[in-house]
């Protein structure tokens, strides 16, 4: 009989469930080195998990084999296009699990902002199903499954500060920085990652790609003992189209931000502050109608401590 946390799971007509947080990420650094033979782009990035989070309730359905996803955000698909659905399907296939799964998602992470919400939901689904059934994958197997789901999914199986290589799916834990206050701003529109990569890739000549890859092989690109350097190759592209994001970044820095940067391919912007007073002062610069989240960077140990909310 499956076991979750040392107690029998059982199928007595009652759905047994777990409530789990799916935390967002920001990119402290993102460098696009060029197109790979598989048509993805070679990246070097540093991810950082933050306290902004979706909430998932994952339930095992004692009868039937359906995977059901419901979300309080009507813009999020509930069917096979949803990454949490795909994660449940992949896990069930890998483990030979024949019961149904119901996933309820309460969205807080804006879609299309470069904050990894869908990827984090997928990782949380894998971890939640393991916790419910007691049928745990090894880390390497789990990472390979996550990489097939999406480039950002594996980082959420580590948490904290994470180095991403390849297309971002090859992940390595880095030493954590102290937790810091973080202001995250979403302008209300999303940016297609695939379209952004396509446009950025068109601007990279073959000689530029070769030189960038060679440079990475000869000297370190990650002297991130502190918050800097903060660099994102998508900023010139995004800021040229939406100069209001560039203006807001400058104002955050003027307000005392240790660093401010576009995350992923956008459209969300974040700023890290040393004090609550600086963060409060920076909020006044955010245009009306934009979503603002007061968050905090989330080190690895705290990430895992806070991941599971409760088991009803």
Q: Which of 80, 73, 59, 161 is nearest to 117 (CA)?
A: 73
Tally of residues, the chain: 312
25, 108, 212, 249: which one is catalytic? 25
From the list 98, 94, 105, the residue with the least C-alpha distance to 69 is 105
Residue 135 annotated in active site: no
- The CA distance from 249 to 263, in Å, is 12
- Asked whether the beta carbons of 249 and 268 are under 8 A apart, the reply is no
What are 164's strand-pairing partners?
Answer: 45, 171
User: CA gyration radius for the chain?
Assistant: 20
Active site includes 152?
yes
State the Cα–Cα distance between residues 95 and 126, nearest whole angstrom.
11
Which tokens in the block code for residue 84?
């949490």
Q: How many other C-beta atoms can be found within 10 angstroms of the C-beta atom of residue 123?
A: 30
Q: Do the beta carbons of residue 11 and residue 98 sit within 8 Å?
A: no
Tell me which of 54, 152, 176, 233 is the catalytic residue. 152
Residues with a known catalytic role: 25, 152
């Amino acid at each position: 009989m499956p076991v979750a946390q040392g107690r029998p799971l059982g199928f007595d007509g009652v759905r047994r469930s777990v409530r789990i947080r799916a935390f967002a990420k920001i990119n402290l650094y993102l460098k696009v080195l060029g197109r790979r033979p598989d048509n993805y782009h070679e990246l070097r990035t540093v991810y950082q998990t933050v306290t902004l989070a979706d909430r998932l309730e994952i339930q095992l359905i004692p009868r039937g084999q359906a995977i059901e996803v419901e979300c309080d955000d009507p813009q999020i698909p509930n069917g096979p296009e949803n990454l949490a659905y795909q994660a449940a399907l992949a896990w069930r296939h890998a483990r030979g699990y024949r019961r149904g799964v119901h996933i309820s998602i309460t969205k807080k992470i804006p879609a299309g902002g470069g904050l990894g919400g869908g990827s984090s939901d997928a990782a949380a689904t894998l971890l939640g199903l393991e916790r419910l059934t007691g049928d745990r994958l090894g880390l390497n197997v789990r990472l390979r499954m996550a990489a097939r789901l999406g480039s950002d999914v594996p980082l959420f199986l580590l948490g904290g500060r994470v180095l991403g290589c390849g297309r971002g799916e090859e992940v390595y834990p880095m030493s954590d920085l102290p937790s810091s206050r973080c202001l995250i701003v979403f302008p209300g529109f999303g940016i297609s990652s695939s379209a952004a990569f396509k446009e950025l890739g068109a601007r990279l000549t073959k000689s530029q790609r070769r030189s960038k890859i060679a440079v990475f092989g000869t000297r370190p690109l990650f002297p991130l003992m502190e918050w800097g350097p903060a660099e994102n190759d998508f900023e010139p592209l995004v800021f040229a189209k939406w100069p209001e994001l560039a203006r807001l970044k400058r104002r955050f820095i003027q307000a005392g931000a240790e660093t401010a940067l576009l995350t992923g391919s956008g459209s969300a912007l974040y700023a890290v502050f040393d004090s609550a007073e600086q963060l409060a002062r920076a909020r006044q610069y955010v245009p009306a109608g934009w979503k603002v989240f007061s968050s905090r960077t989330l080190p690895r140990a705290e990430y895992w401590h806070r991941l599971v909310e409760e088991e009803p």
